[in-house]
Amino acid sequence: MVAHNHAADGPFTTRQLLRLDHALRVANDETGLTFSVYLGEFETPAREFAEKLHKQVERAERAVLIAVSPNQRKLEIVTGNEARKRISDRDAKLAGLSMAAAFAGGDLAGGVVAGLDQLATHAGRS
């Protein structure tokens, strides 16, 4: 699930959306987990908002949510109980740092794709 505004007025080009969609599909297929991305404003507190979004994902216990609010400069990675057995907090923090570096360089889509790849690599194959 990539939550975004209509592609025409969203932050991503069609090519970037296709890259994100491909990265999500690969991460889901290779790990057996459900990866999703939320892009938009966060309610406060940010962590609680991201956790609430995560609970809405089907099979949330096996889900990984990357939530990004570029305008608020916030990033949250939420893992369900089953996913957390395969992606440690340290792994998620490292992926978050990598994404934040790309975001700071102005590459929002590339940062999300890199984060998905890192998290899927840490999770390993299903």
Over the stretch 69-121, which tens digit does the pLDDT of each residue have? 999 999 999 999 999 999 999 999 999 999 999 999 999 999 999 999 999 99
Average pLDDT, the chain: 91
pLDDT in tens, 23-59: 999 999 999 999 999 999 999 999 999 999 999 999 9
Q: Report whether 7 contacts 17 (CB < 8 A).
A: yes
Q: Which amino acid is residue 126, in one-letter code?
A: S
Q: Report whether 6 contacts 42 (CB < 8 A).
A: no
pLDDT at 6: 41
> Crossing angle, helix 89-104 and helix 108-123, to 10 degrees?
160
Element (H, E) at 78: strand 74-79
pLDDT at 9: 57
Number of other CB atoms surrounding residue 25 within 10 Å: 11
Is CATH 3.40.50.2300 the classification given to domain 2-123?
no
Report the candidate in 52, 4, 1, 47 with the shortest Cα–Cα distance to residue 27. 1
Distance in angstroms (rounded) separating the CA atoms of residues 49 and 36: 15
